Structure 1
Amino acid sequence: MRPLALCLLLMFPTPPVGSLKAQDGRPVPPPRPQLPVPTGRQLEWQEDELRMFLHFTVNTFTDREWGTGDEDPSIFDPTRLDAGQWVRVAREAGFKAVILTAKHHDGFTLWPSEFTNHSVASSPWRDGQGDVVGEVAEAARAEGLELGLYLSPWDMHEPSYGDEEEYNRFYQGQLRELLSRYGPIAEVWFDGAKGENAGEMSYAFDEYRALVRQLQPGAVMFSDEGPDVRWIGNERGFAGETNWSTLDPTKVEIGKPGQGDYLNAGEREGPAWIPGECDVSIRRGWFWHPDQEPKSLDQLLEIYFKSVGRNCLLLLNVPPNDQGRIPAEDVARLTEFRVALDRIFARDLANGAEAEASSVWGADLHRYGGSKVLDGKTDTYWAPEEGERSGSVTLGLPETPTFNVIRIQEPIAMGQRVAAYRVEAWVDGAWKRISMGTTIGYKKLDRLHEPVTTDRVRLVVEEALAEPLIAEMGLHFDPHLSPEPDSAGPALRSGPESAQNPVDSLFQRQHQGMGTLAEVFLYAPNSGRASELFEAAFSEMDRVEADLSRYRSASEVSRINREAARGPVTTDPMVFRFLREALSLSARTGGAFDITVGPLVEVWGSSGESGILPSKQELSEARARSGWERVVMDEDSRTIRFLTGGVELDVGGIGKGWALDRAAQRLRELGVGSALLGLGQSSYVAIGAPPEAPGWRITIPDPDRPGQALSEIWLRDRALSTSGNTEKYFVLDGRRYGHIIDPRSGRPAEGTKQITVTGSSATEADAFSTALFVMGPEEAKSLLDEAPDLRALLVFDHTGSRRLLSTRWPDPIEH
């Protein structure tokens, strides 16, 4: 087959008369934008795709949706409130920001406002010294999520409500508090809701917006009329099949009934760029109620496809309960949701396709050719010849995949253009229409009623406001819509043996990395492609090791260990992200896993070499240099500093997990749909599963019976870590000392033989297997109760015999 570029040049040997041309070797100028276009903050908002709403106030304790304004603040007492849990749940489910109801219509403020006594300061929670907004802001920074705040204009408690002059001053006083106390704010929510019996009140929205722009210029503002983000017109989470990001705000009034249809569709060629935000609750109500259950997975997927898949951002409300926790059933449903989305979109069946366009802007194939729809970038695009308002891109697919989801994206930085399109597949020797639509925008996801198997797909733009620009096209398979397509080859038995599709084969390769043996199994169409994928995965592991190893003097961790006691150290963004995750895990486990355990590891390591136990003074000095609370991170400046000298970061507890997560992410980006990555036969992460198998089969060794299995588990889109002391230990005076140190006591852990944990990431699984190893059975059980996504198999030494415990472990274990 001739190269694609040659084929296209032969089709278009010279540009048509009057078309664009490159001059004197200079590139062809790009198309002009179709105004209006989004601002930088609107682009960042849209790219998040998922944000989480957190409705929490006195209503949580009164079982009401709207309060009355006269609630006694003493009812607000969430005794187990953990903002860190809220934000972790959001992050692990793929949400990029959390938006908290700092004040709902009842007027009760979740921060100690100076302008009212109807607040947390008058409640028994934290003895009146608490600040929910502050705790959520701190947790969001720690987890790397953005923070948004909701401040209801309607206030049923405030006596000045109805006095426009006085109340607008009052409201802006509270707004200023929120905008100036809690660091960067990504979104400010102005709700137009108001009860029928509410007094007449004209809100000074222009003044509110000016204050937001002044104090938080990076924030987008939400309301019915924007100015940055609009309500989509319903609370079901569904955007219109036609959904323009453009709108005429003069046709909208905040809180006015009867404008839902206009907001749901936007306006073609509207004068302002105000994209839609789909807000919907995971439960029937916006606040937690004990008699309500979360929506089903199918309902959540339908919402996703009709929000994100229709050019919107999805703002999913997940309300904490009266204990101050996101309920376990909601966490479980969100985990299902994340796994389902990853399963659908982790593999793009159009990867490796060849693209042919009906025409190309200025005949510049390099910058505007059809191949741009397959390059994984939303800021590059195919453009047809100047003046054309229609056109097509045809994908010649690798082999003949089966798909039932079509993904199309416009480069919205250039405006929204497409007004009508259809997608066709080559079936039985002819083009057959398989989907059609109107608008595309940032992302359009078409779900097909029946799966399609073909080797050619064509996108035909039928109508556009200007030259249609297409940034991306993708094809995916959603198993929740249709049964899995048949795969060739026998079912998986003792290991991965069959093919991912009729032409994929299983490949395996080993590599020395992270101080141990790395091993990767993956499916690829040929050995050449497999070699490229192995190289990408192992290079990512090597890069992580170069950054994190404290045994390499040039690593970022070694540099931080040398310099952070003297002052703040600016570090690489990825290293900063890793350390933020490590500190978060240290906090979640109560210090049972501790990123600063290095001094204690050194002391006990020296004892193993010398045969002399450390003295009390040596242990005391080492403990004085340990403790994750001694590490301070500044999100804004991306710096790290130690509060005391001698602190040393030690990544041994989670370094392998982080390396596996990074390598797995790289493989997903390259289109791998089925792979198993392992380090040291103790840490694994699975991408998808081999065909005709529920997952990748992992055998858990029995610590007391060498060569025998304690259990087996099928791993699919999850990670696994095992911690044990059967191999690394030393014996002194007849007593055995393992290599896993309890940071809290400063001594090697005792009473535990082996811990195996599965979780959503290898980093998390590594940290929890280490933490659980240093705990006793009851403490371990309590920690696992707080982490409903984790599954664990625990083997303890119980007065000379062993005690087996399991939590949510899928394989029955004989205790």
Structure 2
Amino acid sequence: MIKKILAIGLSMLLIISMVSCSKKDEKVDKYATKMDTIMHLTAYGPNASKAIDEAFKRVDEIEKIASSSIDTSDVSKINEAAGKEYVKVHPEIVKIIKTSIEYSKISNGAFDITVSPLIKLWGIGTDEERVPADSEIKDKLALVGYKNISINEADNSVKLMKAGMAIDLGGVAKGFTADEIVKVFKKYGVNSAIINLGGSSIYTLGEKPDKTLWSVAIQNPRKEKNEGNIGIVKLNQGALSTSGDYQRFFIKDGKRYHHILDPFTGYPADAGVMSDTIRIDSSIPDCNMLADILTKVTFVSGIEKGMKIIDSIEGISCMAVTTDFKIYKSSKWDTKIEDLSTDFKLAN
């Protein structure tokens, strides 16, 4: 078995930033390891340092309630009470779960936060990763189903209707966190910034001080980080999220097993996509959280179904790379791509 986990955790994108050129636009860069990934916040302006410090405190607050690996978190309490009772939780957890259920419905189940029992069974990205027996996967699949999540909004309580069920917010929490960091930045009057939460969730706030577009490199999913990119995308303000089969995976008997599981089969998704990037306009509420969710939707659904879903939602576009090294773009994708790698060909 060959284990291959990128050193930067879930990082998929390399931020290419410009050094500010005036005291008024002083640049502040800070890094922190949170939510099991390296986060990089860059902000410009006189209050940038304070804004970043408070933003990282906000990340800690969210992790304490949303992480399934923290025993005292709201998510852990929900999972512990599965099949027994409702658990009163923070309103923000209710919001994340409600949004997740909404997009589970939109995607016909391609996105489902109740895959947690399968995640633990496969253990991908841990010392216990393995290929489970078909019978084990079948047993855990019986516990997967977003329709068995019940929410009582009157008192912000949640119940998983089957014993043994469990939720995992790993596919949505970082996006929600990015939205909260944007609020902190705006509170401090930061009008130019870039939020990089492990590379999988990116938000560009305002214009760069030199008035040029932000540049983000999208990693080639078949090369090591910093050794090759699909291309460089040029961004104005908005959310960008990428998912791929190269972030957490292992190879056994020549087959790649990655961490994005298909809620229908219980196996790593195998719809012909190896990387997809969602772009959402900043005018869309909760744009980072939605971008986080929709990358999994496209990855699991495949090009035909995935792009149809993306095209049906206002303000959202997608670029996806298939296992035959072709690049597909949704009908609303208008983000410029520079330095396109010769490894890939545009399919449309």
TM-score category (smaller protein)? 0.7 to 0.9
Q: Say yes or no: does 1:646 pair with 2:164.
A: yes
2:146 aligns with 628
Q: Tell me the SS of whatever aligns to 2:114.
A: coil
Letter of the 2:297 counterpart: A
How far apart are the structure 2 equivalents of 1:665 and 1:584? 23
1:712 aligns with 232
Contact persistence 2:171–2:296 (CA under 8 A): yes
Q: 2:278 aligns with which of 752, 757, 771?
A: 757
1:519 aligns with 40
Are the structure 2 counterparts of residues 611 and 573 from structure 1 closer, same or farther at C-alpha, using a change threshold of 3 Å? closer
Are the structure 2 counterparts of residues 718 and 611 from structure 1 closer, same or farther at C-alpha, using a change threshold of 3 Å? closer
How far apart are the structure 2 equivalents of 1:598 and 1:538? 26
How many residue pairs are counted as aligned between the two chains?
Answer: 316
Letter of the 1:720 counterpart: L
Letter of the 1:574 counterpart: E
Structure 1 residue runs of 5 or longer lacking an equivalent are 1-492
Question: What is the CA distance between 1:649 and its match in structure 2?
Answer: 0.9
Alignment of 1:64-103 (within 5 A): none
How far apart are the structure 2 equivalents of 1:530 and 1:608? 36
Contact persistence 2:122–2:129 (CA under 8 A): no
Are the structure 2 counterparts of residues 766 and 640 from structure 1 closer, same or farther at C-alpha, using a change threshold of 3 Å? same
Letter of the 2:75 counterpart: V
Q: 1:583 aligns with which of 97, 101, 105?
A: 101
Question: What is the CA distance between 1:638 and its match in structure 2?
Answer: 1.7
1:783 aligns with 309
Contact persistence 1:688–1:695 (CA under 8 A): no
Are the structure 2 counterparts of residues 794 and 559 from structure 1 closer, same or farther at C-alpha, using a change threshold of 3 Å? same
Q: Say yes or no: does 1:729 pair with 2:221.
A: no
Question: What is the CA distance between 1:616 and its match in structure 2?
Answer: 2.4
Question: What is the CA distance between 1:583 and its match in structure 2?
Answer: 1.7
Question: What is the CA distance between 1:711 and its match in structure 2?
Answer: 2.3
1:658 aligns with 176
Letter of the 1:548 counterpart: A
Q: 1:565 aligns with which of 55, 63, 83?
A: 83
How far apart are the structure 2 equivalents of 1:564 and 1:737? 29
Are the structure 2 counterparts of residues 705 and 573 from structure 1 closer, same or farther at C-alpha, using a change threshold of 3 Å? closer
How far apart are the structure 1 equivalents of 2:53 and 2:325? 43
How far apart are the structure 1 equivalents of 2:266 and 2:239? 29
1:811 aligns with 336
Q: Tell me the SS of whatever aligns to 1:538.
A: helix
2:51 aligns with 533
1:498 aligns with 20
Q: Tell me the SS of whatever aligns to 2:99.
A: helix
Cα deviation, 1:123-169, whole Å, max 9, x if unaligned, reads xxxxxxxxxxxxxxxxxxxxxxxxxxxxxxxxxxxxxxxxxxxxxxx
How far apart are the structure 2 equivalents of 1:658 and 1:608? 24
Are the structure 2 counterparts of residues 535 and 777 from structure 1 closer, same or farther at C-alpha, using a change threshold of 3 Å? same
Cα deviation, 1:540-560, whole Å, max 9, x if unaligned, reads 111111110100001111111
Contact persistence 2:28–2:42 (CA under 8 A): yes
Q: Percent identity?
A: 28
Letter of the 1:725 counterpart: D
How far apart are the structure 2 equivalents of 1:494 and 1:655? 25
Question: What is the CA distance between 1:600 and its match in structure 2?
Answer: 1.0
Q: Say yes or no: does 1:690 pair with 2:213.
A: no
Q: Say yes or no: does 1:802 pair with 2:320.
A: no
Q: Which has the higher contact order (CA 8 A, sep 6+)?
A: 2
Greater C-alpha radius of gyration: 1
Cα deviation, 1:84-112, whole Å, max 9, x if unaligned, reads xxxxxxxxxxxxxxxxxxxxxxxxxxxxx
Question: What is the CA distance between 1:497 and its match in structure 2?
Answer: 2.1
Question: What is the CA distance between 1:779 and its match in structure 2?
Answer: 1.2
TM-score (norm 2): 0.84
Are the structure 2 counterparts of residues 567 and 781 from structure 1 closer, same or farther at C-alpha, using a change threshold of 3 Å? same
How far apart are the structure 2 equivalents of 1:658 and 1:671? 20
Q: 2:29 aligns with which of 508, 511, 518?
A: 508
Contact persistence 1:795–1:804 (CA under 8 A): yes
Runs of 4+ in 1 over 6 A off after TM superposition: none
CA RMSD between the two structures = 2.2
Cα deviation, 1:489-542, whole Å, max 9, x if unaligned, reads xxxx9523235x7623111110111111111000122xxx33311211100111
Are the structure 2 counterparts of residues 520 and 625 from structure 1 closer, same or farther at C-alpha, using a change threshold of 3 Å? same
How far apart are the structure 2 equivalents of 1:563 and 1:729? 31
2:6 aligns with none
Contact persistence 1:719–1:765 (CA under 8 A): yes
How far apart are the structure 1 equivalents of 2:335 and 2:237? 15
Q: Say yes or no: does 1:596 pair with 2:86.
A: no
Q: Say yes or no: does 1:773 pair with 2:299.
A: yes
Question: What is the CA distance between 1:678 and its match in structure 2?
Answer: 0.8
Question: What is the CA distance between 1:712 and its match in structure 2?
Answer: 2.0
Question: What is the CA distance between 1:606 and its match in structure 2?
Answer: 7.0
Question: What is the CA distance between 1:612 and its match in structure 2?
Answer: 5.1
How far apart are the structure 2 equivalents of 1:611 and 1:585? 29
Range with bigger deviation, 535-544 or 572-581: 572-581
Cα deviation, 1:409-467, whole Å, max 9, x if unaligned, reads xxxxxxxxxxxxxxxxxxxxxxxxxxxxxxxxxxxxxxxxxxxxxxxxxxxxxxxxxxx
TM-score (norm 1): 0.37
Question: What is the CA distance between 1:688 and its match in structure 2?
Answer: 0.8
How far apart are the structure 2 equivalents of 1:803 and 1:758? 19
Are the structure 2 counterparts of residues 568 and 694 from structure 1 closer, same or farther at C-alpha, using a change threshold of 3 Å? same
